[in-house]
A and B are shown apart, each in its own frame.
Chain A
Amino acid sequence: MKTIRTLVAIVLVGGAIGIAIVANAVCDQTAASQADRDLWNTHGCWQDFFLWQYRAYGLNSNDWSGRGWNDACNNILEYPKHWNASFLLTYGLLDNNDQSFHGTVDYRATAEAASSNFHNSIHDTIADGTAFFGSYSGGAVTTFCPLYNSTWQNSNPGSRGGDFEHEGWHAWMEKYNWNNGSANGHRPCTTNPDGSCTNGACTINGCDYFYFHGISKYVFGAMWENDGTANRFHSPNQVQVEYLCDVADQSQSWVPASVRLAAKTDADTRAAQRFINGPGYACGSARPW
């Protein structure tokens, strides 16, 4: 009887630990993508910036412990990658009113924690797992391992910042009571007889509309505005694509080519497959280099 009890105990406790390990599958902390490294080398771990950034994004040491909070210059860890993306977002854009979709003032206000016309106060946190790139709920922007694991396509500074924009825009929708759909804040797709799932031109289960607007139609600082119609409005994926496009084509001269190329690739992919009334704009030249 004693042996059976011991075996049952091992199975129960071991199973519980196993479930916990699976649920908390940790992000890869072994490498940074070339785009992350190239951008990193432009600042060489700028301490004044991350000591500003952690407050500007409302970061809490409890959330980021074990992820580079106490090793903020180790660029293979999650927190350094997070603030590397913020560095790009804060300083990397050209802000040409005659060419850029929006200005740094718009993208910063969307991503940063402070309450403004863009959203009520938010804060950035992190969680393990690979089921999402990011999420927004109740003031918390959570980013997940696909934005930090160096082998994944979205583990680069532009895509990470693009996710800050996307989730920040869900906070905008919450502030102004907009309904963007039932699939995690997007419109769901419908499964077709061939097994594919589509909604108009959108091919994933999380579709948005693209609210086309010209350049200079929003003065810098006015991205938050809307007139209640499709004439002056943005969706989360659209804000993300416009940010990525501005990184790709309207960046400061010093922004590395690897960062710009990864941003263009992400923008073009999203524009092709995430909009019901798509495609969104294509970004930049189709010349290979």
Chain B
Amino acid sequence: MNSQWMRSMMRLSLGVLAVALLPGCKPAGSSKDAPQTKTTGGPRPSEILKAYKEHSPPQLTFGDDVSQFLDWAGASHVDEREDARKAIAAAGNNKTVVQALIKEVERVKTVDHTRALLALALLGETRSPEAQAFFVEFVQRPLPTGGPVIEGEIVEQTHAAQLQAKAVDGLAYANNESSNKVVTDIIANHPSKIVRAEAINAYLWNHDDSDDARKFLSQYVRKDELILIDRVRRTTGENAESFNRKLDQFLKKHPEVVPPRPEKLEARQKPADQRRAFDVKPPDF
């Protein structure tokens, strides 16, 4: 093989690589094109919402009902929260429903995180012994140690920990001697900070954030995480006065959390701001 031929091949290879690494070779001059769709335009969301029938959950009687109920629950509105709670409370002793929810968690836990969270939430709401037994086993499953890493975070580990944290909400909500024992064990020993933090939060919420509960938990919480007992929670619908009072108390008790003064960079030459004209106002909802 002569060196001239090798150089030619190297140039060809580099050329192929460079072309392939371009973010798609698109015709020049198309940058101002608007996005397209093959379907015709529909009504505004406010019109679509008028057709939504509120407070009409599907039945939840048999295992086969669970999939449709989860579809409804996921799409349900803020003021339908109690509808879901009533339906799931009525099905709490229905073992076929509980088992179907557990089966759904297992089916979707690696394919649709948002649906798995929904199924775990509804399962926790049942307070059923079968659900509790499942949660006890679920939160002890080993967390993944491989896969993609973003900023030092093992993404699949966080994925699994978030689901385990949701299971902990169900354990804490049962709020009985055996479930609380599991929760305190998680607070002391679980390998994920995400799960430990939620266990503390959920235990306190289920004990009205009382001083006795905080004192009780302090014997289980890791020393370097004691601040989690005093963590400020913004509860749904809480007003500024209530929240700000809690925040003031937290900052007085933990002056160490006040951050240092922000740092300025040395002044740098910046490119001129390329102002473009946009419609500030979006279309009416």
Shortest beta-carbon distance from A9 to chain B in Å: 6
Mark out the residues of chain A between 11 and 61 whose CB falls within 8 Å of any chain B CB in the assembled complex. Answer: 12-13, 15-17, 19-21, 23-24, 31, 33-36, 38, 41-56, 58-61
Shortest beta-carbon distance from B278 to chain A in Å: 5
Measured in the bound complex, the distance between the Cα atoms of B217 and A186 in whole Å is 33
Q: Given A206-B152, A249-B234, are A257 and B75 also a contact pair (CB < 8 Å)?
A: yes
Mark out the residues of chain B between 239 and 265 whose CB falls within 8 Å of any chain A CB in the assembled complex. Answer: 239-240, 243-244, 247-248, 250-251, 256-265
B73 at the interface (CB under 8 A from A): yes
B74 and A38 form a contact (CB under 8 A): yes
B285 and A91 form a contact (CB under 8 A): yes
A178 and B263 form a contact (CB under 8 A): yes
B206 and A52 form a contact (CB under 8 A): no
Among B43-51, B58-66, B136-144, the one that faces the other chain is B43-51
Closest to A132 in B: B150
B146 at the interface (CB under 8 A from A): no
A279 and B227 form a contact (CB under 8 A): yes
Contact residues on B (Cβ < 8 Å of other chain), bracket: 35 or more
A103 at the interface (CB under 8 A from B): no
B247 and A214 form a contact (CB under 8 A): yes
Shortest beta-carbon distance from B22 to chain A in Å: 9
Shortest beta-carbon distance from B151 to chain A in Å: 4
B268 at the interface (CB under 8 A from A): yes
**Chain B hits for A4, CB < 8 A:** 1
**Chain B hits for A257, CB < 8 A:** 73-78, 80-81, 84, 118
Q: Given A16-B13, A287-B205, are A61 and B31 also a contact pair (CB < 8 Å)?
A: yes
**Chain B hits for A49, CB < 8 A:** 282-283
Measured in the bound complex, the distance between the Cα atoms of B37 and A43 in whole Å is 15
* 28 pairs of residues in contact across A and B, judged by CB atoms under 8 Å: A8-B1, A13-B12, A16-B14, A50-B35, A61-B31, A62-B24, A71-B37, A72-B35, A91-B285, A130-B150, A130-B155, A131-B150, A138-B271, A156-B113, A174-B270, A178-B265, A214-B240, A256-B76, A256-B77, A257-B75, A258-B117, A262-B113, A273-B194, A277-B256, A279-B228, A282-B201, A286-B198, A288-B170
